[in-house]
C-alpha cells in the first residue's frame, strides 16, 4: 500500500513550507530514507527523506510553491496504484472549469470594452478593482492604462513619495524574523540592563585555553559555558511565560545568534551546562558552519532557553538585543578592546567589554536580572572564578 508524503511541521511556529527542489521525478523509484524533496521554512532549508520505498507516482506541489503544514505534496506507491485526489486539491481539468466559470461570472458582473479586457489580461490587471469612466460605468482601455500607470508609479515610489532604487522581496526567513521580532516587542515588557566589565582575565584565559587544547576557542564559547552554569541559580532567566504561569525549564539550552546573508538564525547548544568548553567550542563551530551552508536540521534550531548575541566582531560596543520568544532573556555582547582599567586604585592598560541583558519584566523584576548580570561580570573579571567555571 502506498503512502502520502505530507508537508511536515518542523517547528512550533511553522505553518507552511516552500518546495525548493524535487530530488526525484514522477515515475522514478525511490528507496526509504532516500532524499526526496528540499523544502524551505521560515528558519531553515532542509531535505525530506522518502518515508517508504516505491514509485513516486504523483507530485502535487511544484517547485517554488508554498504548501500548508499537513497538506499532501506527493504520493509513493507501486505500479498500477492510483494516487488519491486530496480534498483540498483539484485536477487540472477541474481547475480549468472553475476558471472558465469564474471568468464567465466576471464578464456578467464587470462591464468593460474588448480592448480593455485584452489589455488587462496581457498586463495581469484585475478589472474588478478598476472604476469605469465609460458610459454606464463601462471600463475603457484608458481606465486600464491609468491603473497600469498607478501600479508602476507605486512600485517606483514609497508611501512618502521617495523614489525607489530597487524592490527586494522579503525572503521567508526575513519575513519570519520580522514577525517574531515584532511579536517579541509587542507581547513582552522588555527592559535592557548594560554593564561595562574588565575583560582582561577573559582574554588571558581564552589564549591559555587555545594553547592547552589546540582548539579554536571564541569568547562566545566561554560565555556559553559561564552563562549556562549561572542560569542554574537564576531560573527566571531560563523560563517561559504561558498564560499566567511562569514555567521554569529544566534543561539549559543556549542559542547562539548566527548572521547569514539573508537574515539571522539561532542554532542551539543543548544542555550546555553539562558540556566541556572544548565540546561547546566544537559544537558551536559545527552549527555555525551548517547554518551558513543551509544544512541545519529542525532539532538544531529549536528548544533554546536563553540566547547570546555577539556583535563584537563588527566593532560594536553596546546594543539592545531583542528577546527570542518564548524565552525570557537574551545577552548582548560587545567588542573586547584595549582600555584603561582601574585595579586597587591603580590605572593600567587592560581589556574591557560591554554586556547588555534584555529581560521580560512580566516574568522578573529588575533586581533579579541585575543580580545575574552582576554575577556574570564578577566571574569574567575574576581569573580564579573563570578557571573554576571552565574547569581549568
Q: Are strands 306-310 and 254-256 parallel, antiparallel or unpaired?
A: parallel
**Among the listed residues 352, 358, 327, 340, the one whose alpha carbon sits nearest the alpha carbon of residue 219:** 352
Nearest CA to 29 among 79, 72, 73?
79
Q: Residue 361 catalytic?
A: yes
Instruction: Please compute the mean of the pLDDT values over residues 165-177 and round it to a whole number.
Output: 77
Min mean pLDDT across 105-114, 293-302, 303-312, 360-369 is at: 105-114
pLDDT digits (tens, 9 = 90+) for 122-161: 888 888 889 899 988 899 999 999 988 887 777 777 666 6
In this structure, are residues 237 and 361 in contact, taking their beta carbons and an 8 Å threshold?
A: no
Of 365, 367, 382, 384, catalytic: 365
Closest CA to 18 of 66, 62, 59: 66
Cell 555555525 identifies what position? 288
- Which pLDDT belongs to residue 387? 93
Give the tens place of pLDDT for each residue, 91-101.
444 444 544 55
Place of cell 533579579: 368
Task: Judge contact between 75 and 55, C-beta under 8 A.
Answer: no
Tens of pLDDT, residues 226-254 = 999 999 999 999 999 999 999 999 999 99
Going along the chain from its start, the domains and CATH numbers come out as 3-77 (2.40.50.100), 92-156 (4.10.320.10), 174-389 (3.30.559.10)
Kind plus residue range of the DSSP H or E element containing 355 = strand 346-360
Interatomic CA distance for residues 371 and 233, integer angstroms:
10
Angle between helices 141-156 and 114-123 (to 10 degrees): 20
Over range 70-76, report the average pLDDT. Answer: 92
Q: In Å, how far are 147, 313, 315, 326, 335 from 119, measured between CA atoms?
A: 11, 54, 54, 50, 58
Q: Which of 272, 224, 236, 210 is CA-nearest to residue 379?
A: 224
Is the model's pLDDT at 88 over the cut of 60? no
Cell of 339: 582600555
**Assigned C-alpha cell, 64:** 517554488
Neighbours of 17 (CB within 10 A): 28
Model confidence band, residue 84 (pLDDT cutoffs 50, 70, 90): confident
Nearest residue to 333 (alpha-carbon basis) of 233, 185, 228, 194: 194
Q: Which residues contact 352 (CB under 8 A, 6 or more apart)?
A: 196, 197, 198, 199, 336, 337, 339, 341
Using one digit for the tens of pLDDT, what is the confidence trace for 2-60?
Answer: 899 999 887 656 778 889 999 999 999 999 999 999 998 877 888 899 999 999 999 99
**pLDDT at res. 92:** 45
* pLDDT tens column, 329-380: 999 999 999 999 988 888 999 999 999 999 999 999 999 999 999 999 999 9
Question: Within 10 A of 44 (CB to CB), how many other CB atoms are there?
Answer: 25
What is d(CA 135, CA 218) in angstroms, rounded to the nearest whole number?
A: 74
Give 326 or 165, the one with higher predicted confidence.
326
Measured between alpha carbons, how far apart are the two ends of the chain, in Å?
Answer: 59
**Torsion-angle region of 136 (φ positive above 0: left; ψ -120 to 50: alpha; else: beta):** left
- CA proximity to 267, closest of 315, 308, 317, 216: 308
The span from the CA of 317 to the CA of 334, in Å, is 5
- Check 35, 279, 285, 361 and give the catalytic one: 361
Identify the weakest region by mean pLDDT among 68-72, 163-167, 197-201. 163-167
Tell me what pLDDT residue 15 has.
79
Contact 308, 220 (CB under 8 A): yes
Does residue 115 have a pLDDT over 80?
yes
For residue 73, with 0-12 CB atoms within 10 Å meaning exposed, 13-18 middle and 19 or more buried, which class applies? buried
pLDDT of residue 1: 74
Minimum mean pLDDT among 82-86, 98-102, 121-125, 207-211: which range?
A: 98-102
**What distance in Å separates the CA atoms of residue 280 and residue 294, rounded to the nearest whole number?**
21
Amino acid at each position: 500500500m502506498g503512502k502520502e508524503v505530507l508537508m511536515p511541521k518542523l517547528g512550533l511556529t511553522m505553518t507552511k513550507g516552500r518546495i525548493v527542489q524535487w530530488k526525484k521525478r514522477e515515475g522514478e523509484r525511490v528507496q526509504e530514507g532516500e532524499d526526496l524533496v528540499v523544502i524551505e521554512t521560515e528558519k531553515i532549508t532542509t531535505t525530506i527523506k522518502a518515508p517508504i520505498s516505491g514509485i513516486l507516482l504523483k507530485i502535487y506541489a511544484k517547485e517554488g510553491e508554498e504548501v500548508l503544514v499537513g497538506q499532501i505534496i506527493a504520493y509513493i506507491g507501486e505500479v498500477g496504484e492510483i494516487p488519491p485526489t486530496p480534498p483540498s486539491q483539484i485536477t487540472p481539468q477541474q481547475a480549468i472549469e472553475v476558471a472558465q466559470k469564474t471568468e464567465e461570472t466576471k464578464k456578467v458582473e464587470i462591464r468593460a470594452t474588448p480592448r480593455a479586457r485584452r489589455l488587462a489580461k496581457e498586463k495581469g490587471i484585475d478589472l474588478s478593482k478598476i472604476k469605469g469612466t465609460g458610459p454606464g460605468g463601462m471600463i475603457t482601455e484608458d481606465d486600464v492604462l491609468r491603473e497600469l500607470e498607478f501600479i508602476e508609479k507605486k512600485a517606483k515610489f514609497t508611501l512618502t513619495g521617495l523614489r525607489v532604487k530597487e524592490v527586494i522581496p522579503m525572503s521567508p526567513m526575513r519575513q519570519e524574523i520580522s514577525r517574531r521580532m515584532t511579536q517579541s516587542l509587542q507581547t513582552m515588557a522588555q527592559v535592557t540592563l548594560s554593564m561595562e566589565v574588565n575583560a582582561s582575565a577573559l582574554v588571558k584565559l581564552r589564549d591559555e585555553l587555545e594553547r592547552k587544547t589546540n582548539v579554536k576557542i571564541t569568547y562566545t564559547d566561554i560565555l556559553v559555558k559561564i552563562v549556562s552554569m549561572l542560569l542554574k541559580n537564576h531560573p527566571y532567566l531560563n523560563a517561559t511565560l504561558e498564560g499566567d504561569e511562569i514555567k521554569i525549564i529544566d534543561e539549559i539550552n543556549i542559542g547562539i545568534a548566527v548572521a547569514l546573508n539573508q537574515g539571522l538564525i539561532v542554532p542551539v547548544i543543548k544542555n550546555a551546562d553539562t558540556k566541556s568548553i572544548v565540546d561547546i567550542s566544537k559544537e558551536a563551530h559545527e552549527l555555525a558552519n551548517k547554518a551558513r551552508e543551509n544544512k541545519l536540521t529542525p532539532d538544531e534550531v529549536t528548544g533554546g532557553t536563553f540566547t547570546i548575541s555577539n556583535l563584537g566582531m563588527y566593532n560594536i560596543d553596546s546594543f539592545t538585543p531583542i528577546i527570542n520568544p518564548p524565552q525570557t532573556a537574551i545577552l548582548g555582547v560587545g567588542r573586547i578592546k584595549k582600555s584603561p582599567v582601574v585595579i586597587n586604585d591603580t590605572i593600567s592598560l587592560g581589556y574591557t567589554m560591554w554586556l547588555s541583558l534584555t529581560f521580560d519584566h512580566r516574568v522578573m523584576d529588575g533586581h533579579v536580572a541585575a543580580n545575574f548580570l552582576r554575577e556574570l561580570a564578577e566571574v569574567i573579571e575574576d581569573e580564579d572564578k573563570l578557571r573554576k567555571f571552565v574547569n581549568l
